[in-house]
Structure 1
C-alpha cells in the first residue's frame, strides 16, 4: 500500500501455495526499522531487572500500601528497594529450605500486594516458575491450574484461603506448602496438615530459612520464568510459557517506544497497581517500572475505593482497561451535565477557560499528576479515547497484544489523532503481517488488506504448557496467529475488525465462546434457537431468541394472558419469563457471571435464509445477524444501562 508513513515493509507478500493462504507484506514500526540492541540486553533474567534497580536505586521508594488507622485509610507507607531486597532474600532462602529449587512451579493466588511482588521476585531469583492465579478465579479453575501446572508451593492472599481449600484433596497431590500473605486460622491449618500440606503465615515463613545461604542458580534467557494461564473459552485454561527473554524484550519494547516518543520512563514515576499481576499487561508494565527504579503503590482491592487510592497516591503513570476509563469518562460527563462553568464550556465558553476547569476535575479523579495513560485488554471506544485525550492533559495510548505475544505488540504513536480507533503500529522488536482468511472473505493482498493478524519477534511465548498440539496450531513458521482479524489503514495503522473464530472479548476483558453458550442455552425448554451477542465495548451479553410457540402460549394461558404468538413476543412479561428461564439454565449449567444474558429480544419469525441470516446448512451468519438486529441490540443495551445507572 502506498502512503503507509508509520510502517516500513521488511518482507514481500506471499501468494497462496500448497494449501497455505496468502500473506501480506511484513511491516515494522517506522521508528524502529533499524532497531538497536534492546536497552536491557545486558540482563539475562527477570531477576536481573530487579537486581539492577536495587543496585542503582537502593533508597528509592519501591512498594507502598495505605496505612489503616481506626478503620480509616491514611497516607502511603513505603518500602525502599533495599528493604524489599532484604525480604526477597528471606523468602528465597525459605523456599529453598523447604526443598524447592529451579524449575519447581510456585503459585501466587490473590490481589496485588507487596507480598505478590516479593514472592514473584524470589521465584525469579531462584529459577522457580511463577504461576499466577487471578484472584477472581473460583475453586474449579484454581484446582485445574494447580494440578495441570503441578504447583508444589503457593503463596495466597489471606481472604482467598477458604476458596483455595475447596480444591482439596485433589490439589494436595501436588501442592505441599502453603504460605499466607497474612495468617491461617487454627482450623485451616489443621485441615491442610491433615492432608500432609505444610502451612505458614507470612511472618512464620520468613523465619524458615533464617541463617541459611543458598547460591542463586545460573538462569538463561531461554529459561521459562512464568506460566500464565489464559481464561478458558471453549475448554480448560491454557498455560502460556513465557521465557525470561520474552519478558525482557517486552519491557525493552515499552522503554524504547516511550523513549522514541520523547517520554522516557524515569525513576521518579509513581504507578498505581490495581490491574491483576496475573495478567501479562500489568506484569510487563510493573517490570518496566521496577527497571527504572519507580514507585509502585497498591490499591486496597476494592473497586469502589480505587479513585480514593488514586487521589492519595497521585500516580504519574496510569494503566487501565476500557471499562475503568469508561467510568472516568462517565463521571466527568456527569459533572459537565450538572451545569455551571463546565456545562457552559461544552456549549461554547472559550478554550482559554478549559485548562483550569478540566485540570481541577482530573486532579479530583486521577490525582492530578498523570502524564501517560495506557489502555489495553480490549478496544477503547473512539469517543472515550478522544474525550480523554482532550481533557486529561495526558498522553493517552491505546495498545494491543496478547499473553502469547508478551503484551507489547502494537501501540498508538503519541499525539496522532488519525490513530483514533486503531491499535497503532508494531512496537520495537515486533514484525506483523496479515494472513488471508478466504472462508470469511478477508484478503491480505487486496487494495484494503484484511486478514488474521500474525506476529513474530522475541516477545513471543515458547508455547502452551503440556499442549504441543495447540502450540503447533498457533505458531507456524515462527508466526503467532492471534485469531484477530485486522485491517491496515492507509497510513499504516492497524485496526482490529473481527475475530477469526466466534470468540470475543467483553469490555472488562473476559473471553466469551459464543457457540458454546448458544449450545448451553439451547437446552432450555422455552426456545427454538438463540443468537448470543456481545462486544468489547459492552460489559454484558444480550440475545435474540426464537421462542417455542407452544411453550410461550402455554405460559400465557397459565397466566391468563390472551394474546396471539406475535403479540406475546412483544410482551414485557413474556420477555421476563423467557429471560428467567435462561437464567435458570445458566445457573444449572454453572456458567460464569459474565456469561449470563442480561436482555433479550423475542423474534417470532425463525432465523431464515430469506433474510440472509443463516446458510443453507443452517449456520448463523453473524455479521448479517448483527446488521439485521442492530436496532434491537441498541435498545437492549439502552435498557441495561438505564437499569444499572438507576
Structure 2
C-alpha cells in the first residue's frame, strides 16, 4: 500500500511531462495548419472564437430579442430547399446516401441470469456486432409499413400511438407515419398505466405500435380502459400469433403489416403527403404534476429545430456515427436522430444498461455498445448516472496505465486548461475517445472538468465554449427575450446582466398543448405573426451573449435525474404536519434531491427536543444538527403518509428560529413565499445541504 502511494506522484509527474511534451510537439503543426485554414475562413484562433459574442440584441435593448450571431437578419427554418416536411427529409437522405449504413442493431449472442452475493438475480447479456440497414432499405421498409398501416384502416390526420423502447423499429414506424400523414402520439416506455390510458383516450387512437415486452408487461392490463383501440402492432418478430386479447382488438407483427403493405392493391393506395403546418407528433410529457400533457409539434417546427441543431455541430457528415439510447419519445432524441439522418450519418442503437463495458446489463469481460460502435456523436441529458457512465467509459479508455482515476482526471483537466489550442485535448477526444460532440438538453450540467473538456463542451450549444453552468445562446432558428418579473425582483434593466423571464420565439415554437386551452396561455403570437412561448424560467444574459438560467418563475423544478417536482405541492402537503409552521421547499436543477427551509412550531419542537433529550435555547435547538435530523424524520413520515413520491421529499432541512413575516421581506403581504429572497437568506445552508459546493 505504501509503495502504491509512493508511486502515484511519480506516475502523475510522468503523465504531466508526457502531456507537456506532446503538447509542445503538437503545438507548432497544429497552430500553423489551424492558423492558415482559420484565417482563410475568417474564423480566428480558438481563443478568439471562444471570446466572440454568441448572441446579441437585435434592437439594442437589454430585453432583446437576442439572436445568434450570423442570424440577425432572419431566423433559419429549413435544412435544404424544398425539404419542408419530415417524410421529405428521409426521401432526400435515401436519394443522396442510398447505400450508406443507416440504422444499426446489435445482435444478442447470449442471455443469462447472474446471481449476486446478496441473492438478487440480474440478467446479463453478451452482444455481437451491429447489423445495419442502408438508407434505401430503411426508406423502403418504412414505406411498406406505412402502406400496411393504411390497409389496416389507419387514415391521414387520424392519430396513431407508439409506445416502445428506443430502437431501429421506432424510427421506421415514425417515418412510415410521417409519409402517410398519420400524427404520431409518443408515450414514454416508463409511463404508468393511468398516464398511458389518458394519452391513448385523449388522442382517440385506434392503432398503437409497441414491443412485445411492453405489451405483455404494461399495455395489456389497460386494454379494456381504451375502448377505441382496435389494432396493436408489435415490432418484434415473435410470436406470430397473439391469443388471449379482448374481442375487437387484433394483434399483428410488424413484419406482417409490412407484407400487407407490399400487396399491389395497398401499394397503389394513394397517400396524402403532409403539409409543413400539419401535426407530425403529439408528444406526451411524463405527467409529474398530474395527467400528462400532449404537445403538438408540426413538421415545420421539427424541421426548424433540427436546422438550428445542425448549425451547431461542426463538420457533421456521413462519416459520423451516432449512438441512440435516450427515449425517442423525447424531442431531443428524435431531433438528434433526424439531424443525423439528414446528413447521412449512421445511427447505432443502445440503452443505458448496455452503453459502456461497465454497464449493468453487460456481462463482465464483454463489450458495451460504445466500445463496439465507437460513435462520434451522442445526445445526453444532465442525469448524473448517465454522465457517470460516459465518464467511466472515457476514463477507462485513457487510463490504461494510471491506476488513480481521480488523479488522472485532475492532471488531465489542468493539462487541458493550460493548452491553447488544446492539441492534447483534440488528441484525447478525437483519437482515444472517439466522441467529438455531445448534444445536451434541458438544464446545464455541473459536470466534471474532464468530461466537459474532453468532449469540447459542445453541450452548451457553442463550439469553442469551455465554460460550464450556462445554456449558451439561441439557435439560428429561434430568438429569446427577457420579460420583467416584478414580483420576483427581476428586470431587463438589471446590472451587470439583464434578467427576466425567458421567452422563446421562432418557427421551432410548437403549436401548443393538445386539447388544453388553459395551458395554451403560455403561448402567444406577436404583431409580426411570430409565435412565442413563455418558459417560466428566469434567465440572465451575459456580456458574451450566453444565457444562464438563475431561477424558476413557476414552482416546477426538474431534478438531475429528470423528475419534475412541484415545490408548491410539497409545501402544501407538509404544512399539514403539526410540527411545521411554515416551509419552503427548494431544489437545484443540478442536484438529485429536494431540500427545505422550515419554521418549526415552537410547542411541538420543544416537546420533541425533550423526548430526544436534546437541550438548549430555542435558537440553539434550531441550529442543532441532531434536532434537524429528528425533525427531518418526522417530516419524512408525514410526507409518506401524504403519498409524496420519494424524490419529492426533502432530504435535508434547515430550521429557522425566526418566523417569516412581510416585515422580514421573506413573504408577501398575503404571506406567499418570496423564493428568491429565501434563497438569498439561506444561501450558505443551501451550499451545506448540497455538499458544500
Normalised to the residue count of structure 2, the TM-score between the two structures is: 0.77
On the 8 A contact 1:432/1:455 being kept in 2, the answer is yes
Per-residue deviation at 1:479?
2.4
- Any conservation in 1 of the 2:143–2:176 contact (CA below 8 Å)? yes
Residue pairs, 1:233-632, within 5 angstroms: 234-258=289-313, 263-302=314-353, 305=356, 308-324=368-384, 326-327=387-388, 331=392, 337-338=404-405, 368-381=433-446, 384=448, 387-390=450-453, 392=454, 394-399=455-460, 411-412=461-462, 414-417=463-466, 420-446=468-494, 448-477=497-526, 478-548=531-601, 561=613, 563=615, 578-603=631-656, 605-608=658-661, 612-632=665-685
Correspondence 1:31 to 2:40:
no
Structure-2 change in CA distance of 1:529 and 1:44 (3 Å): same
Query: Residues 380 and 537 of structure 1 are in contact (CA less than 8 Å); yes or no, is this contact kept in structure 2?
Result: yes
CA RMSD of aligned residues (A): 3.7
| Pair 1:57–1:516, CA change in 2 (3 A) | same
Question: 2 CA distance for matches of 1:24 and 1:5?
Answer: 17
1:198 corresponds in structure 2 to 250
Q: Which residue of 2 aligns with 1:408?
A: none
Whole-Å Cα distance in 2 between the matches of residues 543 and 37 of structure 1?
44
Secondary structure at the counterpart of residue 395 of structure 1? coil
Secondary structure, counterpart of 1:322 in structure 2: coil
CA contact (8 A) 2:413 2:450 kept: no
Inter-partner Cα distance in structure 1 for 2:284 and 2:147: 27
Q: Structure 1 residue 395: deviation in Å?
A: 3.2
Structure-2 separation of matches of 1:522 and 1:118: 50
Q: Tell me, yes or no, if the aligned pair for 1:599 and 1:636 is still in contact at 8 Å.
A: yes
Specify whether residues 606 and 140 from structure 1 end up closer, same or farther in structure 2 by C-alpha distance, changes over 3 A only.
farther
Partners of 1:304 and 1:56 lie apart in 2 by: 30
Query: How many angstroms apart in 2 are the aligned matches of 1:489 and 1:292?
Result: 33
**Does residue 1:54 correspond to 2:106, yes or no?**
no
Asked whether the equivalents of residues 44 and 219 of structure 1 are also in contact (C-alpha less than 8 Å), the reply is: no
Per-residue Cα deviation, 1:496-541 (whole angstroms, up to 9, x for no partner): 2222222222123333221122112333454333221111110211
User: Partner of 2:182 in structure 1?
Assistant: 128
Aligned-partner Cα distance in 1 for 2:214–2:319: 34
The SS at the match of 1:182 is coil
Shift of 1:424: 2.3
Aligned equivalent of 2:83: 43
Residue pair 2:574, 2:635 contacting (<8 A) in 1 also: yes
Cα distance 1:130–1:527, how it changes in 2: closer, same or farther (>3 A)?
same
Q: Structure 1 residues 461 and 68 mapped into 2: Cα distance closer, same or farther (>3 Å)?
A: same
Question: Is the contact between residue 356 and residue 390 of structure 2 (CA under 8 Å) also seen in structure 1?
Answer: no
> Which residue is 1:17 aligned to?
none
| Deviation for aligned residue 1:444 | 2.1
Q: CA deviation at 1:173?
A: 2.0
Kindly indicate whether the alpha-carbon contact (under 8 Å) linking 1:221 and 1:245 is maintained by their aligned counterparts in 2: yes
Secondary structure of the equivalent of 2:294? strand
What does 1:95-106 align with in structure 2 at a 5 Å threshold? 95-106=149-160
Displacement of 1:5: 4.3
> Residue 16 of structure 1 aligns with which residue?
none
User: Structure 1, residues 401-442: CA drift from partner, whole Å, max 9, x if none?
Assistant: xxxxxxxxxx32x1144x654322222132322222222222
Deviations 1:590-642 (A, max 9, x none): 44453233333444554445654333432222222223333333333339x9x
Q: Is the 8 A contact 2:284 2:292 kept in 1?
A: yes
Q: Secondary structure at 1:154's aligned position in 2?
A: strand
Deviations 1:78-129 (A, max 9, x none): 1222222232133212211211111111111132011111111111111111
* 1:275 Cα offset (Å): 1.6
CA contact (8 A) 2:580 2:599 kept: yes
1:139/1:49 Cα in 2 relative to 1: closer, same or farther (>3 Å)? same
CA distance in 1, matches of 2:60, 2:301: 26
Structure 2 unaligned blocks of 5 or more: 1-50, 112-125, 360-367
SS at match of 1:451: strand
Change (3 A) 1:491 1:462: same
Assess if the C-alpha contact under 8 Å between 1:422 and 1:496 holds in 2.
yes
Following TM superposition, by how much is the alpha carbon of 1:553 offset from its aligned partner in structure 2, in angstroms? 5.9
Residue pair 1:106, 1:151 contacting (<8 A) in 2 also: yes
Secondary structure in 2 matching 1:319:
strand
Number of aligned pairs? 602
SS of aligned partner of 2:189: coil
Contact 1:544 1:600 in 2 (8 A): yes
Q: Is the 8 A contact 2:104 2:347 kept in 1?
A: yes
Stretch deviating more after TM superposition (609-618 or 532-541) = 609-618
1:573–1:178 distance in 2 versus 1, CA, 3 Å: farther
> Structure 1 residues 135 and 598 mapped into 2: Cα distance closer, same or farther (>3 Å)?
farther
TM (norm. structure 1) is 0.82
Indicate how the Cα distance of structure 1 residues 206 and 329 shifts in structure 2: closer, same or farther if over 3 A, else same.
Answer: closer
3-state SS, counterpart of residue 226 of structure 1: strand
Deviation of 1:341 after TM superposition, in Å, equals: 6.6
The structure with the largest alpha-carbon Rg is 2
Q: Is the 8 A contact 2:326 2:351 kept in 1?
A: no
8 Å CA contact 2:579–2:604 kept in 1: the answer is yes
Deviations 1:219-244, CA, capped at 9 Å, x for gaps = 21111111112333544322211111
